[in-house]
Amino acid sequence: MASALAGQHALVSGGGRGIGRAIASALHRAGVRVSIIGRNDEILQQVLRAGEADAAAAVDVTDEAAMATALGKLSADRPFDIVVANAGAVETAPFRKSDAAFFRRMIEVNLVGTVNSFRPALPAMVERGSGRLIAVASTAGHRGYPYVSAYVAAKHAVVGLVRSLALETARSGVTVNAVCPGYTDTDMVAGSVAAITGKTGASPADALAQLVRDNPQGRLIAPEEVAATVLHLCQPESRGITGQSLLINGGEF
């Protein structure tokens, strides 16, 4: 049976690795034409060569003008039906060492990067009367964690953006949602494990145990689990789901 999404066009930011690549691959397998963006062109080209996406552009999601240009080129012959704002970053530091510039970096990549992914695509979606805007946020958009106050603030802002934009677009046929994974088996988490071992001398196994201790299932989330949730939100049957922030975290509260 043909996928209900076959022939649609999706944009996935941060689509070269981790969660973004898993999302791009899942959409592509569902018959979606997938365009990916990220900062590292070589990594993006690897995804294209693997047959997990159809087009790519190297661009910084924090650059509003560059994003508008890149997304305009990628969607020149087919507007985006789906936009997944996945690109993000985390830096760790105690609050007392997190100055305004530190907070701005986290806000720029996590929140403004989402805004710059959504805004160019939204007018055509509203005109057609259908579309899916999905932000990959984090459990950090729902609760606090020590030593990442700037990241937590940025992800809370992403969830707030989703809730507000969903109300603006509720009668347009466009849905706006967030998926909020817990610690996921990605390069970002591997970096966090390395940072913990470097600062504390803990073994990698002990460092990983620290990260997953709040997950009742006691494990990392797989990128494919996040991708499956995104795919669900894209289905026609999910048109009543909007303004939501779906936690994928093994029951963590």
- Residue 147 falls in the annotated catalytic set: no
Q: What's 222's DSSP letter? A: P
**At 114, which amino acid appears?**
T
- Amino acid 43 reads I
Sequence-ordered strand ranges (E) for the chain: 9-13, 33-38, 55-58, 82-85, 131-136, 174-181, 245-248
Q: Which of 78, 85, 159 is nearest to 116 (CA)?
A: 85
Instruction: Round to whole Å and give the CA distance between 244 and 177.
Output: 5
How many angstroms separate the CA atoms of 67 and 37, rounded?
Answer: 9
Tokens of 120: 């160019």
Annotated catalytic residue: which of 145, 147, 151, 183? 151
Ranges of H-type helices in 38-148:
41-49, 64-74, 100-107, 113-118, 122-128
β pairing state of 9-13 and 174-181: unpaired
Q: Which pairing describes strands 82-85 and 9-13: parallel, antiparallel, or unpaired? A: parallel
So which residues are the catalytic ones? Answer: 151
